[in-house]
Amino acid sequence: QVQLVESGGGLVQAGASLRLSCAASGRTASSNAVGWFRQAPGKEREFVAGISWSGRITNYADSVKGRFTISRVNARNTVFLQINSLEPEDTAVYYCASVWDRSGSGTYTQSLQYQYWGQGTRVTVSS
């Protein structure tokens, strides 16, 4: 089992930046890919960014490219999501998720592909 805990959300003004963290515990020695998703009020959960175990491969939703950066520090069992130039449309609960990935180079964009989920951290952007 892997436990994920997100942190770093909050209430900010448009144009600000935030760095979200996803800390893993439990069976963290296994190779895993991690993704960030978000769910805005009244909307379905959507993929935001993903990163391979190695950290060398990342992918992003088109809507966040250029503003969001995903990274990881495996020695700290932590994945980060840097969000710049926040917009009111970024208001959502942000979740991280992980899945065992034998290759170490996979990334995944579908929520059903992930095994473990955190409880989420709320980001609210005021205009």
| Closest-CA residue to 34 (of 67, 2, 7) | 2
Report the distance separating Cα 42 and Cα 105, nearest Å: 34
What pLDDT, on a 0 to 100 scale, did the predictor assign at position 29?
66
| Closest-CA residue to 6 (of 18, 19, 22, 17) | 22
The answer, yes or no, to whether residue 56 has pLDDT greater than 90, is: yes
Query: What's the pLDDT tens digit per position in 11-49?
Result: 999 999 999 999 999 877 678 999 999 999 999 999 999
pLDDT band at 103; cut points 50, 70, 90: confident
Report the distance separating Cα 117 and Cα 23, nearest Å: 11
Instruction: For CA atoms 33, 115, 122, 38, give the dihedral sign.
Output: positive
Give percent of the chain with pLDDT exceeding 70: 98
pLDDT band at 81; cut points 50, 70, 90: very high
Mean pLDDT confidence for 58-84: 96
Query: What's the pLDDT tens digit per position in 113-125?
Result: 999 999 999 999 9
What pLDDT, on a 0 to 100 scale, did the predictor assign at position 30?
74
